[in-house]
Structure 1
Amino acid sequence: MASEAIFLPAAGSVQFAIYPDGYDGARIIARIDEEALHARFHAPDGETELVRTYDRNADSIDALATARYRENPRVEICLRSTDFQPSGY
Protein backbone atom coordinates (compact mmCIF):
# COMPACT_ATOMS: atom_id res chain seq x y z
CA MET A 1 0.00 0.00 0.00
CA ALA A 2 1.27 3.48 -0.83
CA SER A 3 2.17 5.78 2.03
CA GLU A 4 -0.58 7.99 3.37
CA ALA A 5 1.90 10.20 5.22
CA ILE A 6 1.70 13.97 4.95
CA PHE A 7 3.52 16.81 6.67
CA LEU A 8 1.40 19.07 8.88
CA PRO A 9 3.22 22.43 9.16
CA ALA A 10 0.96 23.80 11.91
CA ALA A 11 1.65 20.74 14.08
CA GLY A 12 5.30 20.34 13.06
CA SER A 13 4.74 16.65 12.47
CA VAL A 14 4.15 13.95 9.89
CA GLN A 15 0.70 12.41 10.04
CA PHE A 16 0.30 8.78 9.01
CA ALA A 17 -2.20 5.96 9.25
CA ILE A 18 -1.82 2.63 10.99
CA TYR A 19 -4.04 -0.42 10.69
CA PRO A 20 -3.69 -2.37 13.95
CA ASP A 21 -6.05 -5.13 12.81
CA GLY A 22 -4.96 -5.23 9.17
CA TYR A 23 -6.22 -3.21 6.22
CA ASP A 24 -9.76 -4.53 6.66
CA GLY A 25 -9.87 -3.10 10.21
CA ALA A 26 -9.89 0.39 11.66
CA ARG A 27 -7.69 3.12 10.18
CA ILE A 28 -6.00 5.00 13.03
CA ILE A 29 -4.36 8.39 12.49
CA ALA A 30 -1.06 8.99 14.29
CA ARG A 31 1.73 11.57 14.14
CA ILE A 32 5.47 11.74 14.67
CA ASP A 33 6.95 15.13 15.45
CA GLU A 34 9.59 16.80 13.33
CA GLU A 35 12.16 16.75 16.14
CA ALA A 36 11.91 12.97 16.45
CA LEU A 37 12.44 12.54 12.72
CA HIS A 38 15.55 14.73 12.90
CA ALA A 39 16.97 13.40 16.18
CA ARG A 40 16.23 9.70 15.86
CA PHE A 41 16.09 9.13 12.12
CA HIS A 42 18.47 11.85 10.88
CA ALA A 43 15.92 13.44 8.55
CA PRO A 44 17.30 16.14 6.26
CA ASP A 45 15.59 19.54 6.35
CA GLY A 46 12.46 20.06 4.29
CA GLU A 47 8.87 18.91 4.43
CA THR A 48 9.32 16.37 1.64
CA GLU A 49 12.39 14.93 3.36
CA LEU A 50 10.48 14.51 6.62
CA VAL A 51 7.82 12.45 4.84
CA ARG A 52 10.50 10.43 3.04
CA THR A 53 12.25 9.77 6.34
CA TYR A 54 8.97 8.53 7.79
CA ASP A 55 8.50 6.28 4.73
CA ARG A 56 12.00 4.80 5.07
CA ASN A 57 11.43 4.07 8.76
CA ALA A 58 7.72 3.29 8.68
CA ASP A 59 8.12 -0.25 10.04
CA SER A 60 9.61 0.85 13.36
CA ILE A 61 7.50 4.02 13.63
CA ASP A 62 4.26 2.17 12.84
CA ALA A 63 5.16 -0.59 15.31
CA LEU A 64 5.56 1.92 18.13
CA ALA A 65 2.38 3.77 17.15
CA THR A 66 0.48 0.47 17.10
CA ALA A 67 1.83 -0.45 20.54
CA ARG A 68 0.70 2.94 21.87
CA TYR A 69 -2.72 2.46 20.34
CA ARG A 70 -3.08 -0.97 21.94
CA GLU A 71 -2.05 0.47 25.35
CA ASN A 72 -4.88 3.02 25.21
CA PRO A 73 -7.02 3.32 22.07
CA ARG A 74 -8.66 6.50 23.37
CA VAL A 75 -5.49 8.60 23.48
CA GLU A 76 -4.13 10.56 20.53
CA ILE A 77 -0.90 9.08 19.19
CA CYS A 78 1.89 11.62 18.73
CA LEU A 79 5.37 10.13 18.88
CA ARG A 80 8.29 12.21 20.10
CA SER A 81 12.03 11.54 20.15
CA THR A 82 11.83 10.47 23.80
CA ASP A 83 9.53 7.63 22.75
CA PHE A 84 12.36 5.90 20.87
CA GLN A 85 15.34 4.12 22.35
CA PRO A 86 18.70 5.75 21.58
CA SER A 87 19.89 4.47 18.23
CA GLY A 88 23.56 4.11 19.18
CA TYR A 89 24.77 6.11 16.17
Structure 2
Amino acid sequence: MPSEAIFLPAAGSVQFAIYPDGYDGARIIARIDEEALHARFHAPDGESALVRTYDENADSIDALATARYRENPRAAICLHSTDFQASGF
Protein backbone atom coordinates (compact mmCIF):
# COMPACT_ATOMS: atom_id res chain seq x y z
CA MET A 1 0.00 0.00 0.00
CA PRO A 2 1.36 3.47 -0.86
CA SER A 3 2.32 5.75 2.00
CA GLU A 4 -0.38 7.96 3.46
CA ALA A 5 2.20 10.15 5.21
CA ILE A 6 1.97 13.92 5.00
CA PHE A 7 3.87 16.74 6.68
CA LEU A 8 1.85 18.98 9.00
CA PRO A 9 3.72 22.31 9.24
CA ALA A 10 1.61 23.69 12.10
CA ALA A 11 2.33 20.59 14.21
CA GLY A 12 5.94 20.18 13.04
CA SER A 13 5.33 16.51 12.42
CA VAL A 14 4.64 13.83 9.83
CA GLN A 15 1.20 12.29 10.09
CA PHE A 16 0.76 8.67 9.02
CA ALA A 17 -1.73 5.83 9.35
CA ILE A 18 -1.26 2.48 11.03
CA TYR A 19 -3.49 -0.57 10.78
CA PRO A 20 -2.96 -2.57 14.01
CA ASP A 21 -5.42 -5.30 12.99
CA GLY A 22 -4.56 -5.37 9.28
CA TYR A 23 -5.99 -3.34 6.44
CA ASP A 24 -9.50 -4.66 7.10
CA GLY A 25 -9.39 -3.24 10.65
CA ALA A 26 -9.30 0.24 12.09
CA ARG A 27 -7.17 2.97 10.51
CA ILE A 28 -5.35 4.83 13.30
CA ILE A 29 -3.76 8.23 12.71
CA ALA A 30 -0.38 8.81 14.36
CA ARG A 31 2.38 11.41 14.15
CA ILE A 32 6.13 11.57 14.54
CA ASP A 33 7.63 14.94 15.30
CA GLU A 34 10.22 16.63 13.12
CA GLU A 35 12.86 16.53 15.86
CA ALA A 36 12.60 12.72 16.11
CA LEU A 37 13.02 12.36 12.36
CA HIS A 38 16.16 14.51 12.48
CA ALA A 39 17.67 13.08 15.69
CA ARG A 40 16.81 9.39 15.31
CA PHE A 41 16.69 8.94 11.53
CA HIS A 42 19.00 11.78 10.37
CA ALA A 43 16.38 13.33 8.10
CA PRO A 44 17.60 16.15 5.88
CA ASP A 45 15.80 19.49 6.05
CA GLY A 46 12.65 20.04 4.03
CA GLU A 47 9.07 18.83 4.16
CA SER A 48 9.41 16.24 1.41
CA ALA A 49 12.63 14.92 2.99
CA LEU A 50 10.82 14.41 6.30
CA VAL A 51 8.05 12.42 4.62
CA ARG A 52 10.64 10.43 2.66
CA THR A 53 12.54 9.69 5.88
CA TYR A 54 9.33 8.44 7.45
CA ASP A 55 8.70 6.23 4.39
CA GLU A 56 12.24 4.80 4.52
CA ASN A 57 11.87 3.97 8.23
CA ALA A 58 8.17 3.17 8.35
CA ASP A 59 8.68 -0.36 9.68
CA SER A 60 10.26 0.74 12.96
CA ILE A 61 8.14 3.91 13.29
CA ASP A 62 4.90 2.01 12.65
CA ALA A 63 5.95 -0.74 15.08
CA LEU A 64 6.43 1.78 17.88
CA ALA A 65 3.20 3.59 17.02
CA THR A 66 1.33 0.26 17.05
CA ALA A 67 2.84 -0.63 20.43
CA ARG A 68 1.71 2.76 21.80
CA TYR A 69 -1.76 2.20 20.40
CA ARG A 70 -1.99 -1.22 22.03
CA GLU A 71 -0.90 0.26 25.39
CA ASN A 72 -3.73 2.80 25.30
CA PRO A 73 -6.09 2.80 22.28
CA ARG A 74 -7.73 6.03 23.43
CA ALA A 75 -4.57 8.15 23.61
CA ALA A 76 -3.27 10.26 20.74
CA ILE A 77 -0.05 8.87 19.26
CA CYS A 78 2.72 11.40 18.71
CA LEU A 79 6.21 9.94 18.73
CA HIS A 80 9.24 11.90 19.93
CA SER A 81 12.95 11.04 19.80
CA THR A 82 12.91 10.02 23.48
CA ASP A 83 10.27 7.41 22.68
CA PHE A 84 12.76 5.57 20.47
CA GLN A 85 15.50 5.70 23.10
CA ALA A 86 13.25 4.23 25.77
CA SER A 87 11.75 1.53 23.55
CA GLY A 88 14.76 0.17 21.72
CA PHE A 89 13.12 0.64 18.31
| Alignment TM class, shorter chain as reference | over 0.9
Q: Aligned pairs, how many?
A: 86
1:44 is aligned to 44
1:71 is aligned to 71
Separation in structure 1 between the aligned mates of residue 74 and residue 24 of structure 2, nearest angstrom: 20
User: 1:3-82, aligned counterparts within 5 Å?
Assistant: 3-82=3-82
SS in structure 2 opposite 1:36? helix
TM-score after normalising by structure 1? 0.95
Q: Give the C-alpha shift of residue 81 in structure 1.
A: 0.3
Q: After the TM superposition, which parts of structure 1 deviate over 6 Å for at least 4 consecutive aligned residues?
A: none
Aligned alpha-carbon RMSD (Å): 0.9
Q: Which runs of 5+ in 2 are unaligned?
A: none
TM-score after normalising by structure 2? 0.95
Q: Give the C-alpha shift of residue 47 in structure 1.
A: 0.1
Q: Which runs of 5+ in 1 are unaligned?
A: none
Separation in structure 2 between the aligned mates of residue 81 and residue 20 of structure 1, nearest angstrom: 22
Identity level (%): 91
